[in-house]
Amino acid sequence: MSMTKTISHWIGGAPHEGSPTHRIPVENPATGEVEGELLAASVADVDHAVKVAREAQKAWQKTSLAQRTAVMFRMRELVLANSDELARAIVAEHGKDYNDAVGEIQRGRETLDFACGINAALTGDHSVDVSTGVDIHSIRQPVGVVAGVCPFNFPVMVPMWMHPVAIATGNAFILKPATPTPTASLVVARLYKEAGLPDGVFNVVAGDVEVVTALIEHPGVDAISFVGSTPVARIVQEKGIASGKRVQALGGANNHAIVMPDCDLEFAAQHISAAAFGAAGERCMALPVVVAVGGVGPRLAELVKEHAVNIKVGNGMDEGVQMGPVISRAAKERIVGLIDDAEKRGATVVMDGRGQTVDGHADGFWLGPTILDDVSLDAPAYKQEIFGPALTVVHADSYAEAIEIVNASEFGNGAAIFTNDGGVARAFQLDVEAGMVGINVPIPTPVAYYSFGGWKGSLMGDTHIHGPEGVRFYTRLKAVTSRWPSESGAYAATMSFQREE
Give the C-alpha separation, 417 to 444, whole Å: 11
Interaction of residue 385 with ligand NAD, rule CB under 6 A: yes
Shorter beta-carbon distance to ligand NAD: residue 186 or 253: 253
Shorter beta-carbon distance to ligand NAD: residue 201 or 212: 212
Interaction of residue 176 with ligand NAD, rule CB under 6 A: yes
CB of 236 to ligand NAD, least distance (A): 6
Rg, the chain, Cα only: 25
Shorter beta-carbon distance to ligand NAD: residue 122 or 253: 253
263: annotated active-site residue? no
Contact 164, 495 (CB under 8 A): no
Q: Which of 118, 284, 292, 326 binds ligand NAD (CB under 6 A)?
A: 284
Site string for ligand NAD, 455-484 (x = CB under 6 A): ---x--------------------------
Q: Which of 85, 208, 217, 363 binds ligand NAD (CB under 6 A)?
A: 208
Could you tell me which of 478, 374, 473 has the C-alpha nearest to residue 166? 473
Give the C-alpha separation, 97 to 279, whole Å: 7
Which letter, b or e, does each residue of 15-49 get, where b requires 16 or more Cβ atoms within 10 Å of its Cβ?
ebebebbeebebbbbbbbeebbbbbbbbbebbebb
Determine the interface stretch with ligand NAD among 164-172, 232-240, 400-408, 487-495 (rule: CB under 6 A): 232-240
* CB count in 10 Å sphere of residue 66: 8
Site string for ligand NAD, 68-107 (x = CB under 6 A): ----------------------------------------
Which letter, b or e, does each residue of 413-442 get, where b requires 16 or more Cβ atoms within 10 Å of its Cβ?
bbbbbbbeeeebbebbeebbebbbbbebbb
CA distances (Å), origin 83, targets 151, 192, 212: 20, 14, 28
The one-letter amino acid at 288: P
| Cβ-based neighbours of 493, under 8 Å, separated by 6 or more | none
Determine the interface stretch with ligand NAD among 130-138, 149-157, 422-430, 486-494 (rule: CB under 6 A): 149-157
Interaction of residue 203 with ligand NAD, rule CB under 6 A: no
Give the C-alpha separation, 381 to 310, whole Å: 24
CB of 205 to ligand NAD, least distance (A): 11
Interaction of residue 174 with ligand NAD, rule CB under 6 A: no
- Kindly identify the residues of this chain, within the stretch 154-173, that bind ligand NAD according to CB under 6 A: 154, 158
Q: Which of 53, 72, 253, 293 binds ligand NAD (CB under 6 A)?
A: 253
Shorter beta-carbon distance to ligand NAD: residue 144 or 228: 228
CB of 227 to ligand NAD, least distance (A): 5
The one-letter amino acid at 232: V
Interaction of residue 434 with ligand NAD, rule CB under 6 A: no
Shorter beta-carbon distance to ligand NAD: residue 34 or 349: 34
Give the C-alpha separation, 249 to 288, whole Å: 22
Interaction of residue 232 with ligand NAD, rule CB under 6 A: yes
Interaction of residue 252 with ligand NAD, rule CB under 6 A: yes
- Number of Cα atoms under 13 Å in the Cβ half of residue 377: 14
Q: Which of 116, 150, 263, 284 is catalytic?
A: 284
Give the C-alpha separation, 398 to 421, whole Å: 14
List residues with catalytic annotation.
Answer: 284
The residue ranges that bind ligand NAD (CB under 6 A) are 149-154, 158, 176, 178-179, 208-209, 212, 227-229, 232, 235-236, 250-253, 284, 385, 387, 413, 454, 458
